[in-house]
Amino acid sequence: MWGLAGIYALVVLCTFYAIKISIKVLRVSAKIIMNNLRMIIVPLIGIVVMLVWILFYAYSLLWLMSCGDLVTNQVRAPITEEVIGTYVTYQWSEQEKYFMWATLFYFFWISAFLLASAQYVLIVAVASWYFTENSDRRGDFSIWRGYYWLWRYNVGSVLFGSFLIAVVCTIRAVFEYIDRKMKAANAEAGVAAVKYLMNCMRCVLDCCHRFIKYINENAYCQIVLTGENFCTAAINGFLLIMKHTATFAFTRGIGGIFNLLGKLTVTVLNCVIAYCLIYYLPQLQIEINSPIGPLLIVFLISYSVAYLFMSMYSTTSTCILHALYADVDICKQLKYDEMVGMNRPKEMRSIVTFLSKSKV
């Protein structure tokens, strides 16, 4: 125990400047959000478009499922084999099943694209704010510029990043389908080994999904800053993370704690308010037999909305880091004073001071 405590203390001491920079970046991100509350429009638009897309997909999937053939099945008594009832199921051809899997892939792809578009718009807004500020005026935090750049310049890159997410999601869906089929088959031979293998594969796919999402976010930052294609931007973003591993890791880790606390706070408060309304309003007491169902719906909706809004915080902090290191590199290339910068928000000056003290 004391050995682990000593290792932890050494890690903290060795990464002191990285931790300080991460905290300052997160503080600046919070200031950006508070000073530019109009950025809330981006997740709101994303929620509306996502709901429309989900409803359209559900309608299309129901229509496709209805193309199957109706098959009448008989229910027989266990002993006498007498027919005691019937029920109807759909039976689909192989081609119709392939169509269903294809529509599932398209659902993942478009959903990932809508989420990535919101990320891209926020990144453009933050980068515009960063590089348009000087001693004479504040930065231009333009949301509509993000939508224009998305469809004018980088829709292909965002679609490609979303395609990678959709591939992983489809593989995970196929894996879960196979896992359910194996469980339904009640295979006894080697069942424990199969369970362990399936759990390991599930963890590997989840790690792969998280890794691609993280690489995509950093690639979008590089696309906005440099105008490169997706593959080049992803490589440059990955190299930048490797060069400043501690700063990115602590920014992501500390920011993740704040994100989790924010999501839990919003979700729990909404559930408490919903429970109080159900408990204290007589008309709701009469109509609702159990509060579990309504509270579950409130929890899911609250968590989903809180997730979308709190994701702005992590996206903003990641973009600030990319913009900061790009700013410093530009000053070095142009032989300009790194401590002053040509276009740098005043909130970033203290961070640059820490950068000058240590390479993190």
Beta strands in 13-68 (DSSP E): none
Residues 236 and 97 in one domain: yes
My answer on whether 198 and 211 are in the same domain is yes
pLDDT over 50 (residue 360)? no
Phi (first) and psi of residue 335, to 5 degrees: 55, 45
Residue 151 forms part of a structural domain:
yes
Residues 311 and 337 grouped into a single domain: yes
Residues 353 and 283 in one domain: yes
Q: Are 209 and 167 in contact (CB under 8 A)?
A: no
* Count of alpha carbons within 13 angstroms of residue 54, beta-carbon side: 7
Query: Which range has the worst mean pLDDT, 44-58, 85-99, 149-163, 230-244?
Result: 85-99
What pTM was estimated for this model as a whole? Answer: 0.81
Same domain, 211 and 253: no
Residue 295 lies in a domain: yes
pLDDT band of 338, cuts 50, 70, 90: low
39 located within any domain: no
- For the record, the structure tokens of 192 come out as 């424990």
Nearest to 108 by CA among 17, 213, 191, 22: 213
Rounded distance between C-alpha atoms, residue 243 and residue 40, angstroms: 32
Domain presence at residue 106: yes
Mean pLDDT of 73-89: 67
Average of per-residue pLDDT across 10-21: 63
Per-residue confidence (pLDDT) for residue 13, from 0 to 100: 59
Alpha-carbon distance of 312 to 263, in angstroms, equals 12
247 or 242, greater pLDDT: 242
To which H or E segment does residue 83 belong? strand 83-91
Boundary residue ending a domain (195, 212, 243):
243
Q: What is the pLDDT of residue 37?
A: 77
Give the pLDDT band of residue 112 (cuts 50, 70, 90). Answer: very high
| Residue 83 covered by a domain | no
Whole-number average pLDDT of the chain: 79
Q: Return the minimum-mean-pLDDT range out of 23-32, 109-118, 230-239, 313-322.
A: 23-32
306 and 360 together in one domain: yes
Phi, psi of 343 (to 5 degrees): -135, 100
Alpha carbon distance 23, 30 (integer Å): 11
Same domain, 265 and 239: no
In a shared domain, residues 212 and 127: yes
Q: How far apart are CA 296 and CA 214, in angstroms?
A: 30
Where a domain ends, among 218, 243, 268?
243
Q: How far apart are CA 312 and CA 211, in angstroms?
A: 19
Same domain, 257 and 320: yes
Say yes or no: 254 and 198 in one domain: no
Q: Do 166 and 281 reside in the same domain of the chain?
A: no
- 299 contact partners, CB below 8 Å, separation of at least 6: 267, 270, 271
> 3-state DSSP call for residue 71?
strand
Asked whether residue 265 is domain-assigned, the answer is: yes
Residues 186 and 302 in one domain: no
Q: How confident is the model at residue 358 (pLDDT cuts 50, 70, 90)?
A: low
pLDDT band at 285 (very low <50, low <70, confident <90, very high): low
Task: Look at residue 221 and tell me whether its pLDDT is greater than 60.
Answer: yes
**Residue 65 contacts by C-beta under 8 Å, 6 or more apart in sequence?**
90, 92, 100
Please count the other Cβ atoms lying within 10 Å of the Cβ belonging to residue 261: 11
Does a structural domain hold residue 21?
no
Domain housing 147: 93-243
Domain stops at, among 208, 224, 243: 243
Task: Decide if 271 is inside a domain.
Answer: yes
pLDDT category at 222 given cuts 50, 70, 90 is very high
Asked if the model's pLDDT at residue 342 lies above 50, the reply is yes
Query: For residue 212, what pLDDT band results from cuts at 50, 70 and 90?
Result: very high
Please tell me the total count of domains within the chain.
Answer: 2
